[in-house]
Amino acid sequence: MEEDKKPLNFLEQIIEDDIANGLDRSKLRFRFPPEPNGYLHIGHAKSICLNFGLGLKYNAPVNLRFDDTNPTKEEQEYVDAIKEDIQWLGFKWANELYSSDYFQQLYDWALKLIKEGKAYIETQSSEEIAAQKGTPTQAGINSPGRDRSVAENLELFEKMKNGEFAEGSHVLRAKIDMASPNMHMRDPIMYRILKASHHRTGNDWKIYPMYDWAHGESDYIEQISHSICTLEFEVHRELYDWYLDQIYDTKKLRPKQREFARLNLNYTVMSKRKLLQLVNEKHVNGWDDPRMPTISGLRRRGYTPASIRNFSEIIGVAKRENLIDVSLLEFCIREDLNKTAPRIMGVIDPVKLVITNYPDEQEEWLDAENNQEDENAGFRKVPFSKELYIEREDFKEEANKKFFRLSIDKEVRLKNAYIIKATDVVKDEAGNIVEIHATYDTDSLSGSGTEASMRKVKGTLHWVSIKHAEKAEIRLYDRLFTDEAPDAQKDKDFKEFINPDSLKIVTGFMEPSVKSAEIGERFQFQRLGYFCVDKDSNSENLVFNRTVTLKDTWAKISAKEN
Ligand code: ATP
Ligand code: MG
């Protein structure tokens, strides 16, 4: 298999070393642990491809664990969307699990820690806790709560659990080391009081475990061998291990946390909190707006699962943070759609072209190849007639030497049809061209084998027969932000960099074969780019999203600027 020849990435190397040191292969187990507080984005896709990819490589189970420990932000809608996105990417989880399933077990373990004098109730305010925390170079101050008796701690914790205290009035802290050089070890909070209703446990619980306490113990309960997370958790690893030390049974597998660099992509933001702001403040039309870096947005935009998996593969796993150019993602979808998307012709900025020597009432249904990259794609029929639309930018009255499209007295080929030559134009009072007149060479039909048809002309244009054209709403997307790193600018909110022209809607005129196109179907509009049918589409109003242009237009712009 091709897979096996690739050099191991550093995480695979860690796993191989563990196996070499005696870890039973059959004990390998991974998880993807999203918090259901928003829709997944392309960064999550990287983590999904990584964890599920390891599952496939080692034939090991991968759990989907919802890290649902904060009821104020989590919702069933997000759970459902996350499941849909992972399945769409092509992965299958072994078990669907929830941290909330472990609330009782986590609580029981917390009692054990209290009884062993390793956890205590803190009644100081969060400001006081913060003030006593110290700095990385200066030890913190022990809280008076540290000296509370076990009995009193148990009683207070019980009352916290029963909802007898107000939110923020009490927390449970682990008693570790207020002088630790690692700030996370300075008596971290294990539980807080929250009186919100949880999407699964309802009002059963008034106290909720913090991330660090819940995560490692959940890994342990599920017997996850390698708990892979992003680099910002590297400093949490010591605490992850300390918590495991408290409950670990040596006969069981001990999970191991390892970290990799998160995906950062330019011209977008990727924190769920910020994406939620874009949605709530209506800068975009929902989580699946095709401009969003969410998996659902990319799907609606026309991205394929294969293109996203391939993107994850190409960027690989790194130990250091870096910034990936969004044009790499665009490259991946172009590459995939070039092989698979049927070609059609559509004009999105039309100008009328009249073939003056073509008989008025005549029409011909010409053969057009569906995809020259795929020999099994076959042919379709495209209607040709006297009056056509071509793109406005494909004509210039007077052209310089570099303009290979249509101009007066110059020849071009109409794709799948004839060679034509422009003769004159009709203009409105303002001087705008409203009609171009041309003649066609009757012997030059594409593929007819005549001498005239073999004649080389420099340009080939796409076109649509006006009387056969299907109108469509075409949504042209551009980057959502004008700045490469919108959320990394000093003293400026990321929303100041929202691109006001990120969506442009035009009317396109399409060849009639699109009439039967279904939602989600993808096409190459020849010479324009890749497009897919949006979910807003119906038989009355056909709607297309531009997935990506054929070429990287931004590369051209930045090359000019440099
Ligand atoms: P965000 O900050 O965007 O809300 P998060 O890390 O809080 O993301 P979680 O739902 O907690 O989101 O993440 C689930 C998993 O996805 C975690 O293992 C996390 O490390 C991983 N993940 C999140 N963002 C990225 C990213 N940009 N690149 C790679 N992995 C990511
Ligand atoms: Mg998180």
Evaluate whether residue 28 is within a structural domain: no
Give yes or no: residues 475 and 371 share one domain. Answer: no
Evaluate whether residue 353 is within a structural domain: yes
Residue 455 sits in a domain of what CATH number? Answer: 2.40.240.10
Entry field: residues in the chain:
562
* CB 416 within 8 Å of CB 367: yes
Q: Which atom of ligand 1 is nearest to the CA of 262?
A: 28
The strand pair at 419-427 and 411-414 is best described as: antiparallel
How many whole angstroms from 277 Cα to the centroid of ligand 2? 16
> What distance in Å separates the CA atoms of residue 515 and residue 54, rounded to the nearest whole number?
43
Number of domains forming the structure of the chain:
3
pLDDT at 4: 58
Indicate whether residue 99 lines ligand 1 (CB < 6 A): no
Give yes or no: residues 540 and 457 share one domain. Answer: no
Backbone φ and ψ of 288, nearest 5°: -100, 20
Q: Which of 262, 274, 381, 392 is catalytic?
A: 262
> What distance in Å separates the CA atoms of residue 131 and residue 285, rounded to the nearest whole number?
42
Question: Mutual orientation of helices 305-315 and 326-340 as an angle, nearest 10°?
Answer: 140
Q: Which atom of ligand 1 is nearest to the CA of 271?
A: 3
> What distance in Å separates the CA atoms of residue 481 and residue 326, rounded to the nearest whole number?
12
The per-residue pLDDT for range 59-118, each reduced to its tens digit, is 999 999 999 999 999 999 999 999 999 999 999 999 999 999 999 999 999 999 999 999
Round to the nearest angstrom and report the end-to-end CA distance of the chain: 44
Q: Which of 173, 206, 272, 291 is catalytic?
A: 272
Q: Which atom of ligand 1 is nearest to the CA of 273?
A: 4
546 is catalytic: no
Looking at the predicted structure, is the pLDDT value of residue 559 above 70?
A: no
Indicate whether residue 47 lines ligand 1 (CB < 6 A): yes
Give yes or no: residues 413 and 446 share one domain. Answer: yes
Q: If pLDDT is split at 50, 70 and 90, which confidence band does 387 have?
A: very high
Give yes or no: residues 326 and 379 share one domain. Answer: no
pLDDT at 43: 97
Q: If pLDDT is split at 50, 70 and 90, which confidence band does 544 have?
A: very high
Last residue of a domain, one of 149, 179, 211: 211
Give yes or no: residues 280 and 341 share one domain. Answer: yes
Give yes or no: residues 160 and 303 share one domain. Answer: no
Counting ligands in written order, the one closest to the CA of 30 is 1
Give yes or no: residues 525 and 514 share one domain. Answer: yes
> What distance in Å separates the CA atoms of residue 181 and residue 170, rounded to the nearest whole number?
26
How many whole angstroms from 35 Cα to the centroid of ligand 2? 6
The per-residue pLDDT for range 119-143, each reduced to its tens digit, is 999 999 999 999 999 999 999 999 9
Q: 513-529 burial, b for 16+ CB within 10 Å, e for fewer?
A: bbeebeeebbbbbbbbb
Give yes or no: residues 482 and 560 share one domain. Answer: yes
pLDDT at 3: 53
Evaluate whether residue 94 is within a structural domain: no
Indicate whether residue 44 lines ligand 1 (CB < 6 A): yes
Evaluate whether residue 241 is within a structural domain: no
Give yes or no: residues 498 and 561 share one domain. Answer: yes
Amino acid at residue number 512:
P
> What distance in Å separates the CA atoms of residue 144 and residue 390, rounded to the nearest whole number?
80
Evaluate whether residue 267 is within a structural domain: yes
Indicate whether residue 271 lines ligand 1 (CB < 6 A): yes
Residue 561 sits in a domain of what CATH number? Answer: 1.10.1160.10
Q: Strand runs (DSSP E) across 290-414, as ranges?
A: 322-324, 343-344, 346-347, 350-355, 363-369, 379-385, 387-391, 411-414
* CB 399 within 8 Å of CB 405: yes
272 is catalytic: yes
Counting ligands in written order, the one closest to the CA of 228 is 1
Looking at the predicted structure, is the pLDDT value of residue 160 above 90?
A: yes
Q: Output the pTM of the full model.
A: 0.94
Q: Which ranges of 116-149 would DSSP assign to H, the alpha helix? A: 126-131
> What distance in Å separates the CA atoms of residue 180 and residue 166, rounded to the nearest whole number?
30
Question: Mutual orientation of helices 76-89 and 305-315 as an angle, nearest 10°?
Answer: 80
Q: Which ranges of 176-291 would DSSP assign to H, the alpha helix? A: 211-222, 237-247, 272-280
Evaluate whether residue 307 is within a structural domain: yes
DSSP 393-406: GGB-SS--TT--SB
Looking at the predicted structure, is the pLDDT value of residue 560 above 50?
A: no
pLDDT at 1: 45
How many whole angstroms from 104 Cα to the centroid of ligand 1? 26
Last residue of a domain, one of 425, 440, 462: 462
Q: Which atom of ligand 1 is nearest to the CA of 38?
A: 4
* 503 beta partners: 477
Nearest residue by C-alpha to atom 18 in ligand 1: 229
Q: If pLDDT is split at 50, 70 and 90, which confidence band does 558 have?
A: low
Indicate whether residue 263 lines ligand 1 (CB < 6 A): yes
Evaluate whether residue 408 is within a structural domain: yes
> What distance in Å separates the CA atoms of residue 255 and residue 244, rounded to the nearest whole number?
8
| Best residue for ligand 1 mutational test, from 11, 35, 40, 44 (most atoms within 8 Å of Cβ) | 44
> What distance in Å separates the CA atoms of residue 437 and residue 439, rounded to the nearest whole number?
7
35 is catalytic: yes
Q: If pLDDT is split at 50, 70 and 90, which confidence band does 400 have?
A: confident
pLDDT at 562: 40
| Residues whose Cβ atom is located within 5 A of ion ligand 2 | 35
Last residue of a domain, one of 415, 444, 462: 462
How many whole angstroms from 447 Cα to the centroid of ligand 2? 58
Give yes or no: residues 186 and 158 share one domain. Answer: yes
Residue 137 sits in a domain of what CATH number? Answer: 3.90.800.10
Give yes or no: residues 355 and 427 share one domain. Answer: yes
How many whole angstroms from 401 Cα to the centroid of ligand 1? 52
Tell me which residue has tokens 């956890």.
119
Tell me which residue has tokens 């589409």.
537
Q: What is the mean pLDDT of the chain?
A: 95
Looking at the predicted structure, is the pLDDT value of residue 561 above 70?
A: no
Looking at the predicted structure, is the pLDDT value of residue 486 above 90?
A: yes
- Quickly count helices (H) and strands (E) in the chain: 15, 27
How many whole angstroms from 192 Cα to the centroid of ligand 2? 17
Q: DSSP state, 539?
A: S
Evaluate whether residue 230 is within a structural domain: no
Domain of 179 in residue numbering reads as: 103-211
Give yes or no: residues 455 and 350 share one domain. Answer: yes
